[in-house]
Amino acid sequence: MLNLILMGPPGAGKGTQAGKLIAEFKLPQISTGDILREAKRAGTPLGKQAAGFMDSGKLVPDELVIGLVEERLEQPDTKDGFILDGFPRTVAQAKALDEMLKKHGRAITRVVLIDVADRQKLFDRVTGRWSCPNDGSVYHVKNSPPKIAGKCDKDGATLIQRADDTPEKLTKRLSEYEAAKAAVVHYREKGLVTELDGEQSPDTVYGLLKKAVGK
């Protein structure tokens, strides 16, 4: 059972690493950012409530995010574990998470923080990022461009940029990230936190990540 929290600033490579873990270990990834973006796109009540916060790079209120994670963790596909991406981001969220897991006799088994000290690198990674609206494939104008500019390699869809992947919003998101690190303090006290340097190649980071989670 691997109940993993993956944390890192925007552009640290969390999505890439989660993708590799999912492919190898068939664990579901629970990304609160992805769930909220989908709710916003679909215009659900949750999406409507979250939209304003998300578009300005602010955190969505705890009770909305906690509710959606609780619902997601009740799905049977999480029985052998899960990868939480982007949650918890506040101490209240971390406490609520521990409580909901405890109800099912479970607990977080590892927290991995992937960080990139060079903030300029994060700006370059995030502001050059484009993704496919259909399958979520992520490209980068310089580092991993699609074969045809602006089109998804897999289905030819026109690539889009996230509304919050702009320099101004990224500055806000980075400061939110610094604050979010406080959410993992009590996991640190329990010796559950591993920090990895996200400036290394994706394969190197993945090797270290697997070691950290005992795989």
Any contact of residue 19 with ligand AMP (CB under 6 A)? no
**For residues 119 and 175, is the Cβ–Cβ distance under 8 A?**
no
Residue nearest to ligand AMP (CB): 33
Q: What sign for the dihedral angle of Cα 124, 87, 38, 155?
A: positive
Q: In terms of C-beta density within 10 A (0-12 exposed, 13-18 middle, 19 or more buried), how is residue 114 classed?
A: buried
- The two beta strands, 29-31 and 81-85, are parallel
In contact, 87 and 73? CB cutoff 8 Å: no
Q: For ligand AMP, which residue of 11, 19, 81, 86 counts as binding (CB under 6 A)?
A: 86
**Minimum distance of ligand AMP from residue 180's CB (angstroms):** 8
Q: Of residues 20, 151, 162, 181, which has the active-site annotation?
A: 162
Q: What is the DSSP letter of 60?
A: P
87 is written with which tokens?
């949650």
Q: How far is the CB of 18 from ligand AMP (least distance, A)?
A: 11
Active site residue 37: no
Max alpha carbon distance in the chain (Å)?
49
Nearer to ligand AMP, 58 or 140 (CB): 58
Residue 154 annotated among the catalytic residues of the structure: no
Residue number, 151 or 162, with CB nearest to ligand AMP? 162
Catalytic residue, from 14, 37, 40, 125: name it: 14
Q: Does 60 bind ligand AMP (CB under 6 A)?
A: yes
Q: Which amino acid is at 65?
A: V
- Quick one: which of 7, 21, 46, 65 contacts ligand AMP (CB under 6 A)? 65
Given candidates 28, 47, 49, 59, which one binds ligand AMP under the rule CB under 6 A? 59
154: Cβ contacts below 8 Å, ≥ 6 apart: 132, 135, 137
Indicate the residue among 63 and 197 with the shorter CB distance to ligand AMP.
63
DSSP state of 106: -
Interface with ligand AMP by CB under 6 A: which range of 50-58, 94-102, 104-112, 192-200? 50-58
Please report where in the chains the tokens 């709710």 appear, as a residue.
39
Is residue 173 a contact point for ligand AMP (CB under 6 A)?
A: yes
Give the residues lining the site for ligand AMP (CB under 6 A). 10, 32-33, 36, 53-54, 57-60, 65, 86-87, 89, 93, 164, 173
